[in-house]
Amino acid sequence: MPHYVAPLRDMQFVLHELLEVESALKELPKHSDLDVDTMNQVLEEGGKFAANVIFPLNHSGDREGCKLDVNTHTVQAPAGFHEAYKQYVEAGWPALSCDPEFGGQGLPIVLNNSFYEMLNSANQAWTMYPGLSHGAYECLHAHGTAEQKALYLPKLVAGTWTGTMCLTEPHCGTDLGLLKTKAAPQADGSYQLTGSKIFISAGEHDLSENIIHLVLARLPDAPPGTKGISLFIVPKFIPDSQGKIGARNPIFCGAIEHKMGIHGNATCQMNLDAAQGWLIGEPNRGLNAMFVMMNAARLGVGMQSLGLTEVAYQNALIYAKDRTQGRSLTGVKAEDKTADPIIVHPDVRRMLLTARAYAEGGRAFTSYVALLIDRELNHPDEEVRKEAADEVSLLTPIVKAFITDNGWIATSEAMQVYGGHGYIAEWGMEQYVRDARINMIYEGTNTIQSLDLLGRKILMDNGEKLRHFGEKIRHFVEAHGSSEDMSEFVTPLADLGDKVTKLTMEIGMKAFQNRDEVGAAAVPYLRVVGHLVYAYLFARMAKIALEKQDSGDKFYVAKLATARFYFARLLPETAMLIRQARSGSANVMALDAELF
């Protein structure tokens, strides 16, 4: 049967040794009194909730799925989901990083981030219900009126109400400029929304007493394209000014999508039939407001694949140590058995180390970004806030695309460790592969993230954000480049940094002549930059491990071995990717469409 234990030791290493979070938070008045012991206690309790409450529901929730009553338009989540959510709410977990003004606990994003990794490892489908709610909270917190915040935020923070984002329509996915949902102004200041949305995760369910939909729609006089999109609050039940729910709003689930994975989450087709809604922010500026939720979702999707990578690795490791098959190529290792455990075989170890490295690299990366978000939101120095915001903007598409690509690789490798048993449902591994596949698609496909990184985040500002990140790498290389022990990490890091600079300039020059050059290079380019980020973080982790490898704590020995594997086996992928990115657009655009 599947197994999960929260990786607390590695989380503590990342937070306290790599990022020195306690010291970093001293610069933020809001979090200056948070200490290591408190953070560790929160993580320990979060790990217990993830492992003991929602992890046991993961396999059964996938088998059962969600059920729609077509007569009442209500959706029943899998057995146990409602009870688990009740425990989640009663323990105060929804409020963890929310504003105390609205009932939140006011803890930093970087701590909430680690908690969500554990939730995603335990049960991604279940975690999407509170995860989307937190995104709705962030959007309303940033763009809602004082009245909207007072009415909706305390309920979202408490977890008694949940949230969704309603963007996609049958005829438009990424190209939101094509959306057709209409919003008609009413005399009382509200709007009537009419249209259809698809692929709405957690669009209807029985976990909470109300669902707050954030819906993109067009006003009657809206300009065409993305400049004519507005954002609205459309609650399932219309609340009065005191937050007491009243009449059912005509926003109904018409169908549940039949999916490859995440069966425990209700992915709904939502129909709005003159549903009452209220404008968030300015007219025709809805996409700007929704980007708060979309960017939070992109970071959250990266966390989903990180969670799956970790739990798949844990289970594959247990299996590899227990399953006997064949003998070691260097001689018998288990003399008391008729065969050796498969972990003795080099390629099994390669698969396990691939998943392990991508889990540890992803954990360091997402925690690094989460701490940047805390700086962006709370640092007293405006310049520091701006620098952090720019770096978060640069790294967000990499979090989403690189980690989800790696999650697909890692879960597939972990399933392969099982051999034929990995393909059988009872072991649980095939679910992780199915669940991981959607993460590369939704919240902007990984190609869209790649175009965003190269086209918008790098070329549009002439590489300024990338240069600032490169300065951090340069300072690290200069500080440790003369260390013989660090050369195996610093030398390839410096080399890749130089190659990324040259590759960026080359693509930029080509793009002046032909914009298709950006589209042809974007996907391999993002993976190259993703590896640059991981190489920087693994080099920093290796430095710590080198200093402590003789401490008697085998954790540092293992960390150093994982870093060496990453640099030797995974980083070399960049050589191929750079050649792909440099090959230009002609090889993909030359063939006429009718000849395909």
8 A C-beta contact, residue 142 and residue 106 = no
Of the residues 117, 430, 443, 517, which is catalytic? 443
Helix axis angle, 487-513 relative to 464-480, nearest 10°?
160
Active site residue 443: yes
18 to 191, 511, 544, 591: CA distances (angstroms):
50, 38, 8, 49
How does strand 182-185 pair with strand 191-201? antiparallel
Tokens matching residue 142: 């940033």
Where are any strands of DSSP class E within 332-488?
A: none
How does strand 251-256 pair with strand 245-248? unpaired
Q: Give the separation between CA 110 and CA 98, rounded to whole angstroms.
A: 12
8 A C-beta contact, residue 498 and residue 528 = no
* Residue written as token pair 């930059």: 529
584: left (phi over 0), alpha (psi -120 to 50) or beta: left
List the Cα angle 371/375/378 in 5-degree steps. 130
Q: Give the separation between CA 575 and CA 499, rounded to whole angstroms.
A: 10
Contact residues for 522 (Cβ-Cβ < 8 A; gap 6+): 447, 450, 451, 453, 454, 455
Q: What is the 3-state secondary structure (H, E, C) of 316-377?
A: HHHHHHHCECCCCCCCCCCCCCCCCEHHHCHHHHHHHHHHHHHHHHHHHHHHHHHHHHHHHH
161-183: b or e for each residue (b if 16 or more CB lie within 10 Å)? bbbbbbbbbeeebeebeebebbb
How does strand 267-280 pair with strand 161-166? unpaired
8 A C-beta contact, residue 536 and residue 493 = yes
8 A C-beta contact, residue 406 and residue 360 = no
Catalytic residue numbers, as ranges: 443
